[in-house]
Structures are given as C-alpha cells and as structure tokens.
Structure 1
Amino acid sequence: MSRRRHALMMLLPFLTLSMPPSADAQTSTPSATPARTSNLDAASRTAIVARLSTELSSKYIYPVVGEKGAAAITAAAASGAYDRIVDRSAFATRLTEDLRGVMTDKHLMVFDTTNRPASSVASMPAGEAGIVRADRLPGGIGYLQIDGFANPWAFKPALDRAMTGLKGSRALILDMRGNGGGDPASVSYLVSYLLAAGQRTKINSIVERKAGTTEFRRDSFFSEPTPVSFPSVPAYVLTSGNTFSGGEELAYDMQTLKLGTVVGEVTGGGANPGERISIGHGVMAFIPTGRAESPVTGSNWEGRGVQPDLKVPAANALATTLRRLGQVPAAATIEAASPVSVFAQRTVPLKGGEAMLRRLFAGRTAPEADYTLMKTDASEAGRAALAATHRRLQPLGVPQAIRFRRPNGFGFDEFTLVYPDRTLLVGIMLDSDGKFIDLIGPDPSM
C-alpha cells in the first residue's frame, strides 16, 4: 500500500493546487478566473455551518477540539451572528476567524472557491521542486536555499544535484526564511544528508486521525541513503516569522536531533497537516487531520513556533551566521556573497508528464473526466481538480506539439502547447506512480 501524502504546509493546499470552480460556475476560456456566483442566502449559510461542523467533529486531529470548534460556529449561527453576512468570501473569512479563535490552528482555513484567482503558470515560483539555489561560498561554506518541500519524487533528484555540488563543504547554511512548507518525506530526506551514511534514524512521524473515530494511525519517516553525506559538518538553519509548517519541521528536526543551530526569528507555529474538503455552496475548508510528532520530544512546534538558538532579525540571519563562521566582513545577502549559484535546473521532464497531457487531451471530448488517471483513493478535492482540468481542456483542440519548458518551485513540470495560431502554457504534477495530481493552466504564452 502506498504511503499517504501529507500536505504539511499552507502554500500547497491554498496557493499551488488549482481551486476547482463550483458546479454552477462557468468558464468561458481555459484560463478564466472562476465566475462569481450569487450571494449566500440563509439556507446556504445554514447548510455550510452544518457540513463544516460535521467535518470538524469527524476529522479534526484533536476530537475534543474539533467538537469545540463545531459547537462554536453552530452556536454563533443559532444566535444570528451570521444572518447579515451575504458575501461568500466574507462568510468564509468570518468562519475561519471564529474557528481559529477557539481552535488556535494556523493551518485551519475556510475559503470561497468561486472568487479566487485561478492559479497560473506565471504565478508559480522559480526553482526546482522548492530548491532555489545552492552556492559554494568563500571559506568552504555551502549554502542551500529551499523555499518549499515538493513531493519527494521531484524533490529528491533536485536535492541530490544540489548537495553533490556542495560536497566537501566545511559548514552548511540551510536557508528556510522563505519556506512555506511541503512534504515531510522530503524534509526527512534533507535531514538524511546530515547523518552518517548507513545510519537509520527516525526523524518525524505524522499521527493522523481515522475519520469518524477517536483512533489514530502513525506514519513515520526515517533517514535514507544519500549520494553524499555531511555528518558532523556544522550546520545552520536560517528562519523567519514566515517559515511555516514543513519549513519549521526542518528547523525543529535539526534542533531536536542536535544536527544544527537555528538562526533568525521564531517561526510561524503550524504543525498540523490535513486535507482540503468541499463544504458545498462554493466553499472549501482545509481541516488539519494530523499532527507532527518528534521522536525526541514526543511533541511539535504547533502554536509556539521553533525558537531559534541565535535570535536575530531574519534580514540579519545570513550575515550573523557568516560572521560566526569567520567571514569578516559578512555579506548581508546571498547575491552579495555569491553572485552565481552552482545549482542548475534539470532540462528534461520527469517521466510521464507529456504522456499524461496527451491522455488528457485525447479524453477531453468525453462527458466527464477519466478518473482512472488518478489513484483509486484520490480525495474529493483531488477528483474535483481533475474534473476542473477536464472542463478547461474541452474547448481546445489537440496541440500540434507539446514541449517541455522547465520545472517550477512547487514540483510541477511546465510544458508549452503549440497550436497553429498560438502557444499555451501548462504545469502538470503527477505522483510517484505516474497518476494525475493537478494541472495549472492552460495560460497564454508570455
């Protein structure tokens, strides 16, 4: 049985994966923003509160807290607190505020899917699978900037190239100041590089609630073999207040396993992964269904953030670390310290991306999406993403050519679709078995 993927981040569920329009939203062009639907009436608000309450009670990682959140919004609705809120986005924001007020979980969010800008290829961050750059600084210092931990089948080969380029470094700086999170398997793989070759170490676990019960399952992550290793090499993790979730896990793991020094600001304080759940009426929620658990502390950084060993403003974290390593004067930015990165993005696609695009186009005239392109246990939100992709491709013909463009920072492979009169851009993400996860675009070529 394949391991479940945990969205241990905020960026991935809300900004990266395309938000499917509601059933009554229409799309006039492939890249159109979902159309705004009518405001909410009393019956719709009641139904949203009831469904959201049920999902919280059934799935939230801490059953008692889930019940508490459900009771809070149910009582608010009964008191008339929501009666004057007719705007869907305002209602989603209010529900988020009310739930966080009693549940204090930064991953928890309710949002309006009918009024969110469609994700575009142009909006995707640069880099490869979260890796932005790797540099060999003067004095034998290796520097690695990672802004997110994409799925491991995209992240691992990129990290292997980056770390191989840093082989022989006498110290490592891992810059997580812009890291919004990602897959815990990818976090654990990076930690593996700091451990002795052949050493198997438990790095983290995700404890997940079985829906509708008070029972839990545990998914543990261990170190893995890496092409090179940096045991006993002094390591520093740079953090900011924006370092969140999976980015925080890296700092927490390094700190609790005594593998490195954390330099910078207290991190955001989000340690509970979860899933996107459709609530109906154009509303979706991200409900944390799990929690991270360190094998060292038996706990995590939820609500507190990771406390740096050297507390300095994020903007000063790099210079502070370089001075600690004997670099005087110390550059304030990586651009000043190292004008050229040694990390180069791959120039060939991951296996299966082009073939999946051709299958999607071949089936575009069918009345509904081909769900055999996904894993059989795909989530409701995942199936909705495939359905939305199917609708966006229906007006298009089969492209004359499909050409790989580049990987991007969130683990998608970008392709150019060539037509006689235009070119379009898409980004596609598959899982380790070559099954569909999501597609961004098509967008007009820039």
Structure 2
Amino acid sequence: MNIRIIISVLFFTAILPADGLLCAQSAPTDSLFVKPGDLSNLIFQLKTIIEKNYFDKEKAASLNKILTEKFANGDFKNLSPEHTTEKITQLLRKETNDIHFKVTHFSTKAANNQQQNQAADNGGIAEIRKLKNNIGYLKWTEFRAGPDAFKKTVQALERLKGSRALIIDISNNAGGNGEAGGFMNDHLYQSKDYQQLLVKKCNGETRWHQSEVPYNNTEGPRFYKTPVYIITSKNTFSAAEYFAFIAQETGRAVILGDTTAGAGNPGQGVAFMRGGSDIGFFIFVPTCQIQTKAGKSIEAIGVIPDILLTSGDWLEETINIIGSTSAKGPGTKQSTP
C-alpha cells in the first residue's frame, strides 16, 4: 500500500493541539464521495494509530472492533469527505467520552492558504490594551511556545504593567502548546506550588508524573498581587482549559463566561495521504491523561466558570463586575494544591 505520511506532531495540553488543538482544517475536494480506496486507507490508518497511540488499550481494542464492523456494514460508504470525517469523529467521541478525538480531511487541489495569522505573529496574543479604570486586557487566541512567542508575550505584559486588574480573554482559544501556559503562569504566581497541581500519565506509562511545565524565567513584569479575571467559553479548548483550571483550583483568578469544551487529554496528530490520491486525512488521537493529584479531571466536563456571563458584551460585563468589587478584589489568593 503506497501511503505518504505527511506529518506527525505531538501536542500537549497545559503542560499541549495540540494543539493549535486541531491545526488541520477540512478543505473542499473535487470528489462528491470518498473513493473506496481512500476510505479503506482511512479506516486502516485510523485503527493502526488508535492501537498504537491511544492511552486506553482496552478502549482502543473496542474502538477498532466497532470501526471494523461499521466499515464492513457500509456505514461510511457513499459519504462526502465532510460527512465521513464528522461521522467518524462523533463515533470516536461517543464511544470514549474523549473530546480530543478528531478526524478531518484536506485536498491537494485546495487553494494553498499561506496567509499569515495575526495571532501567530504576536505569539498567539491577538489584542492588548488598557481599558477604563486602568484595567489591563489581553486577548489570547492561541498557545504558542518558543523564544519568539515568549518574547511577544513579555512585550504584551510590559504594556499591561501597573494595571489595577488583569483580564485574560481565552474565550476563543483552541489551545496549542501547553508550555505557553506555563510561561504565562510564571508571571502570575509568586509561589511555584501551582506546578504540583496536575499530574499526567501517557501511553505506555505506568506512573503519574508532574504535568505542568516549570518555568523560572526572569524576563517581564510580574503580576503577583494583581487580581486576575479569565474569560472562557465553549470555544476554550485543551491547553487553554488547563490554564483556567489551574487558576481556578488555586484561587489565583476568577473564571467568567461559560463552561469550556472539556477537551482535556493531550494527544498526537498524524496526517497521511494514499499515493495517487488527491485527498488526505488528519487524525488526532489522545495519548495522555491529565488530572489533579486528587483525581479531578476536566475531560468531557470542562471548566465551569465562577461567574456565568449572560449579556451580549462579555467584556463590558466583566469590567462592571470588577468595578463592583473592592479595591483588592478577588483573584489574588494563591492556595496550595
């Protein structure tokens, strides 16, 4: 079987694609239906990747049995690429209760989109500004890590230095590299105890170990005593969820908005294409579990906000909530995990 493996990328939530949780987006194709050869290859590759990489081997065996039966019964036959990948994605999520499972497709004939993402250019930070009453606002849309991204993060924090309170908006953040959360946290927490909150166990491992990436950098301003307010929504995924989760569990920030997606298990993304085909597939399979030392997980649950935002303007609503608090306000207490 002539298969071209396009990419194989590890994404780790909080400490993560991931992921840009799911960087491979569905693209239009010229075929109305997935061709039999492409469908057969998709199921074969999916079963192979699940068997090899999914952290729960018992569920992996069960999934592969179900996929084999449904393929044999023609459940995925004569479907569009969009319908095929969505149907498989929903099946995997239903059987495992794991939101991070994802199957998408792409086409070699699709337009080559090389447009630069503004958030990517700014280390994943889309907007920084000072609001009324000296409230700092940071809109964070992607968790990007590395020297260039961290430099942009420090520059953003410099602009917010001296703020009375800090709003970090991750309501449209699909996650990404969890090291970004660790780097940001180093500027928010005076104590490093928060790094011990989460533990992780990955495929093939028998013991839980520390999940949070430790940082002890000296660059950038510190906000140890600044009240922090984090805005979340159902569009907050993966590593971004753990950023909010740590802040909530330690009492460092007030979480506002709506419950997050509940995509807590980090994983691995693989893209592949059958030789001679014009359609390829991207599969994201969870490879690890993350929870608190007490066993609390956000998988399929999400982070439930301390304050539910209900207006049409969440930012203005958050500003009003901050204004109704005392001068010190909430979000400065840092409890020990």
Q: Aligning the two structures, in what range does the TM-score lie when normalised by the shorter sequence?
A: 0.7 to 0.9
Q: Take 2:98 and 2:20, find their aligned partners in 1: how far apart are those partners?
A: 17
Equivalent position of 2:147 in the other structure: 153
State the Cα RMSD in Å: 3.2
Matching of residue 79 in structure 1 with residue 50 in structure 2: no
1:94–1:139 distance in 2 versus 1, CA, 3 Å: closer
Equivalent position of 2:97 in the other structure: 104
Q: Take 2:11 and 2:148, find their aligned partners in 1: how far apart are those partners?
A: 14
Matching of residue 179 in structure 1 with residue 177 in structure 2: no
What is the CA deviation profile of residues 129-171 of structure 1, one whole-angstrom value per residue up to 9, with x for unaligned ones?
1112222233332221111111232321111111122222222
1:256 is paired with a residue whose SS is helix
Shift of 1:37: 6.6
Answer yes or no: is the 8 Å Cα contact 1:263–1:308 preserved in 2: yes
Shift of 1:299: 3.4
What is the CA deviation profile of residues 166-220 of structure 1, one whole-angstrom value per residue up to 9, with x for unaligned ones?
222222111111211111111111112111178784364543213xxx6578563
Unpaired stretches in structure 1, ≥5 consecutive residues? 20-32, 329-446
Equivalent position of 1:234 in the other structure: 227
Answer yes or no: is the 8 Å Cα contact 1:110–1:285 preserved in 2: yes
Q: How does 1:131-142 map to 2 (within 5 A)?
A: 131-142=125-136
Shift of 1:308: 0.3
Aligned with residue 224 of structure 1, among 216, 230, 239: 216
1:222 is paired with a residue whose SS is coil
Q: How does 1:255-404 map to 2 (within 5 A)?
A: 255-278=248-271, 280-281=273-274, 282-295=280-293, 297-313=294-310, 315-326=312-323
1:325 is paired with a residue whose SS is helix
Identity %: 23
Name which one, 1 or 2, has greater alpha-carbon Rg.
1
What is the CA deviation profile of residues 41-73 of structure 1, one whole-angstrom value per residue up to 9, with x for unaligned ones?
545533432331122122112222222222221
1:86–1:240 distance in 2 versus 1, CA, 3 Å: closer
When structure 1 is superposed on structure 2, of 307-316 and 235-244 the one drifting more is 307-316
Q: How does 1:56-135 map to 2 (within 5 A)?
A: 56-82=50-76, 84-85=77-78, 87-114=80-107, 117-118=110-111, 120-122=113-115, 124-126=117-119, 128-135=122-129
Q: Take 1:235 and 1:51, find their aligned partners in 2: how far apart are those partners?
A: 44
Equivalent position of 2:3 in the other structure: none
Q: Take 2:111 and 2:145, find their aligned partners in 1: how far apart are those partners?
A: 22
Equivalent position of 1:144 in the other structure: 138
Answer yes or no: is the 8 Å Cα contact 2:11–2:19 preserved in 1: no
Which amino acid in the other structure matches residue 312 of structure 1?
A: L
Higher relative CO (Cα under 8 Å, sequence separation at least 6) belongs to: 2
Which amino acid in the other structure matches residue 257 of structure 1?
A: T
Equivalent position of 1:46 in the other structure: 40
Shift of 1:86: 5.5
Answer yes or no: is the 8 Å Cα contact 2:194–2:250 preserved in 1: no
Answer yes or no: is the 8 Å Cα contact 1:201–1:223 preserved in 2: no
2:139 is paired with a residue whose SS is strand
TM-score, normalising length: structure 1: 0.60
Answer yes or no: is the 8 Å Cα contact 2:188–2:223 preserved in 1: yes
Answer yes or no: is the 8 Å Cα contact 1:107–1:288 preserved in 2: yes
Q: Take 2:297 and 2:168, find their aligned partners in 1: how far apart are those partners?
A: 20
Equivalent position of 2:164 in the other structure: 170
TM-score, normalising length: structure 2: 0.78
2:20 is paired with a residue whose SS is helix
Q: Take 2:29 and 2:160, find their aligned partners in 1: how far apart are those partners?
A: 48
Equivalent position of 2:335 in the other structure: none
Answer yes or no: is the 8 Å Cα contact 2:105–2:282 preserved in 1: yes
2:256 is paired with a residue whose SS is strand
Q: Take 1:47 and 1:81, find their aligned partners in 2: how far apart are those partners?
A: 15
1:18–1:321 distance in 2 versus 1, CA, 3 Å: closer
1:151–1:275 distance in 2 versus 1, CA, 3 Å: same
Equivalent position of 1:9 in the other structure: 17
Q: Take 1:291 and 1:133, find their aligned partners in 2: how far apart are those partners?
A: 32
1:133 is paired with a residue whose SS is strand
Q: How many residues align?
A: 306
Which amino acid in the other structure matches residue 76 of structure 1?
A: K
